[in-house]
Amino acid sequence: MVPEKHILTRELQSSQNGTAIQAALQAQTRKLRSEGELAVPVLAVNSLLAQALKAAEKRGHLRIGLQAAGEKLARERKGLLKMVREQGLAVGERISRLILVSNDGTERFYRSVEWLAKDHRSRLLVCLLDVPGLEIGNILFGEERNIKLLLIDHKDSVSLFFHTLISERQTGE
């Protein structure tokens, strides 16, 4: 399975860190589900990544759950299509949204995530966090909440998240 190269935001692509972020995303991948086609980056959760998730939540850039993520992405697509139709603006194909899933989802859940990823593939990347949903709840809220999916829905928070991937390699956290 050859990992896909993702088109990062212009800011990340043009920075000196773009290549390192691509390498971090391609370092470990796996199929999201055994019968599926979608290969996703597998990310270890560390303190820097946890801080990036908390920062996204505090900024209001985090949606929790498959339904909330799907609704948010659908609203955004509707707005993007309206801009294209009314203003003739081109919509780029760059990763500006990020779905993070726990490692303990069901086959049916991952199939739904895969469908969502295909539907919004031009601007969405799915990553598998190598922790169960309860741990994600503990990270974000300090309590046992079983959170299977997070959507980071703002490019600045996505960029911050991506930077943690290379900061971890540099600091060894």
97-101 and 149-152 beta bridge pairing: antiparallel
> Higher pLDDT residue, 155 or 132?
132
Place of tokens 């998240």: 161
In CATH terms, is domain 10-151 a member of 3.40.50.460?
Answer: no
Domain boundaries, the chain: 10-151
Q: Which amino acid is at 82?
A: K
What is the per-residue pLDDT across 53-101, written as a single tens digit (0 to 9) for each?
A: 999 999 999 999 999 999 999 988 887 777 667 776 666 677 889 999 9
Give the residue from 3, 4, 7, 158 showing the smallest Cα distance to 93: 7
Length of the chain: 173
3-state secondary structure of 128: strand
Give the residue from 13, 2, 1, 15 showing the smallest Cα distance to 95: 13
The arithmetic mean of pLDDT across residues 155-166, rounded, is 90
Strand partners, 124: 97
What pLDDT sits at residue 148? Answer: 98
Question: How many helices (H) and strands (E) are present in the chain, helices listed first?
Answer: 7, 6
- Residue 6: pLDDT above 80? no
> Higher pLDDT residue, 6 or 102?
102
Band (22; pLDDT cuts 50, 70, 90): confident
Place of tokens 């773009």: 18
d(CA 81, CA 93): 13
39-43 and 124-129 beta bridge pairing: parallel
What pLDDT sits at residue 154? Answer: 92
3-state secondary structure of 106: coil
What is the per-residue pLDDT across 63-74, written as a single tens digit (0 to 9) for each?
A: 999 999 999 999
d(CA 83, CA 53): 30
DSSP 92: P
What is the per-residue pLDDT across 103-142, written as a single tens digit (0 to 9) for each?
A: 999 999 999 999 999 998 888 999 999 999 999 999 999 9
- Residue 7: pLDDT above 80? no
